[in-house]
Amino acid sequence: MLRLSGVSYRYPGAPRDALTGVSLSVGPGEFHAVLGPNGSGKTTLVRIALGALSPLVGRADVDRRPASMWPRQDLAKLVGVVPQREDNLFPQRVRETVLLGRYPHLSLWGRERAADHAAVDRALAACDAQHLADRWLWTLSGGEYQRVRIARALAQEPKLLVLDEPGMSLDLKHEMGLFELVLGLVHTAGLGVLMITHDLNLAARFADSLLLLESGRPVASGPPAQVLTQETVETVFSWPVAMQTVDGRPQMIPLRQPKESRA
Amino acid sequence: MKWTLLALVAVLALLLSVVLGPAAVPFGELLRSDIVWNLRAPRALLAFLVGGSLGVAGAGLQALVRNPLADPFLLGLSGGAGLGAVLAIALHLPGPWALPIAAFLGALAALGLVYRLGLVGGASLDPRILLLGGVAIGAFAAAITTAIVSLADAAELRNAFLWLWGGLSGASWDSVLIVALYAPIPLAVLFAASRPLDLLALGEESAGYLGADVDEVKRRVYLAASLLTAAAVAVSGVIGFVGLVVPHIARLTWGHRHRSLLPAAFLGGGALLAFADTLARTVVAPRELPVGVVTALIGVPVFALLLKRWTIA
């Protein structure tokens, strides 16, 4: 469904590549997470995967067609995106904002039909957010707001969901709840998920496959147990860690740095 | 219900501006009066078209620059049009159409410059640069305008100054016809952009992911709204606050969906300007106030209230 092969990219005027030789493939019912320190190329990878940028080398395809060649409206029927940040200019109610997700399915002058409202109801239900439908956006908590934004992406009825740091600034309960929700969508709806995050532990806990980037280069990719080894994590993040296993998945615990090696 | 009410208000505003005026026309002779047919009726219709255009242009631009306090004249058009008009007055260009054409060309020149500035970052219009560029070009044009006015003689100066505050005394069936033929094209472009404009309120990145062709929408909305404003300023001078306040009031009642917001802004803007022009003609009759003075006197208090509400929300 989404396939990057040997993608490299350099921003105009930049001294080095933002991405070098990155490959990634996300199919239906698969949960992929892209990890890496700040500035490792995660956002660039998303932009290329969604056709906002064209790779200089390699290919980025959605359904076997280069992502940048897709008309935006058609692409939005296949791929739903929850960006890291957005600010709504005007006060809006939850149902209205989720209804915006139906945009790619509407004709220029046509009204929303019953089918569109039904899709909104399904999306709200899938995110356990029906009870929020009539609330104003600004009255929502951070966790509720993220659920609503995921519902909006689901209202697009996409085959692939792309989430950029969805757990940022959420507390434990809401962060775990959000990841459980996304995993549930993968299992029940067969949705493909590509998630950008720098939370190694949550990614390892929930995703089927990880891609670890460092300075735009793929360091490791595959099942969490293969990618998150002590050696790899310490090298990429330049910090000593200990590893444990929970639910069969590797979990990382940062260690205090010994005094003599502190700068 | 609210549409019926708005339609009634619009019809009422038009009727009032035909019935009221400095010359007393007996009620029974309204339909046969030359004053009504050749002066008041075209003037009422022109006021309505201009007000409606400004309302829609304002609503569109507010969504485009993502600033609910934007006014169609913020983007430098008033400065360019003012310069064109004052040049026409100073150079004594002959004919009834010299001034509107000069003002229109001035507005187009400003539009072109601001548009070009907005594209400095690439193919995507940057709304922040549009705003800053508009303010800068407007200030530059205003400086030249002031220089010309300061060198003009007293009568010319008065004309130029009055023109800058807007007025519909030049209305004729010809000008109504021209605006009625011209305005529907940019209006249709803006109405067709209703849904992408809804998305744009979420920010350009989100709008793109939801399926809007953001660069294309921004170009279309900017050009259509500016061309509407340029025509409005050419036939009636700079009439402030209609394009700022009307979209706001429409949002309070119709919400933020441009499908209903834009038509409501058209009817509301038309009604407001027709009403304001009736006041401008009658309160100090037989003299006349520039209609921009009336819209500002009505608009500023309303705006202050809205500002208060906005900061609370």
Q: Chain centroid to CA A89: how far?
A: 24
**Residue with more model confidence, B71 or A148:** A148
Reported as a single tens digit per residue, the pLDDT across B247-256 is 988 988 888 8
Rounded mean pLDDT of B5-24?
A: 88
Label residue B18 by pLDDT band (50, 70, 90).
Answer: confident
* Cα separations in angstroms, B170 against A217, B106, B175, B235: 68, 19, 8, 7
How many interchain CB pairs under 8 A, A with B?
A: 72
DSSP code at position B71: -
Rounded mean pLDDT of A111-128?
A: 91
pLDDT > 80? residue B128: yes
Prediction pTM value: 0.87
What was the ipTM of the complex prediction?
0.87
Question: Whole domain around residue A172: which residue ranges?
Answer: 2-261
The CATH number of the domain where B28 resides is what? 1.10.3470.10
Partners of A77 on chain B (C-beta within 8 Å) are 211
How many domains, chain A? 1
Partners of B192 on chain A (C-beta within 8 Å) are 108-109
Q: Are A68 and A61 in contact (CB under 8 A)?
A: no
Could you tell me which of B45, B22, B40 has the C-alpha nearest to residue B30?
B40
Partners of B63 on chain A (C-beta within 8 Å) are 89
Question: Whole domain around residue B258: which residue ranges?
Answer: 2-312
Label residue B58 by pLDDT band (50, 70, 90).
Answer: very high
How many domains, chain B? 1
Q: Which residue of A has its CA nearest to B210?
A: A76
Interface of A with B in 125-154 (CB under 8 A): 138, 152
Query: Do A52 and B208 lie within an 8 Å CB cutoff?
Result: yes
pLDDT > 90? residue A98: yes
Reported as a single tens digit per residue, the pLDDT across A184-215 is 999 988 999 999 988 899 999 999 999 999 99
Residue A172: its pLDDT value, please? 86
Query: Do B211 and A75 lie within an 8 Å CB cutoff?
Result: yes
Q: Which residues of B touch A (CB under 8 A)?
A: 63, 66, 68, 192, 195-196, 198-199, 201-203, 205-206, 208-214, 251, 255-257, 313
| Smallest Cα distance from B313 to chain A, Å | 8
Rounded mean pLDDT of B72-84?
A: 88
Reported as a single tens digit per residue, the pLDDT across A15-66 is 999 999 999 999 999 999 999 888 889 989 999 999 988 999 999 999 999 9
The CATH number of the domain where A231 resides is what? 3.40.50.300
Partners of B202 on chain A (C-beta within 8 Å) are 86, 88-89, 97, 100
Average pLDDT of every residue of chain A: 90
Rounded mean pLDDT of A216-222?
A: 93
Average pLDDT of every residue of chain B: 88
pLDDT > 70? residue B134: yes
Partners of A49 on chain B (C-beta within 8 Å) are none
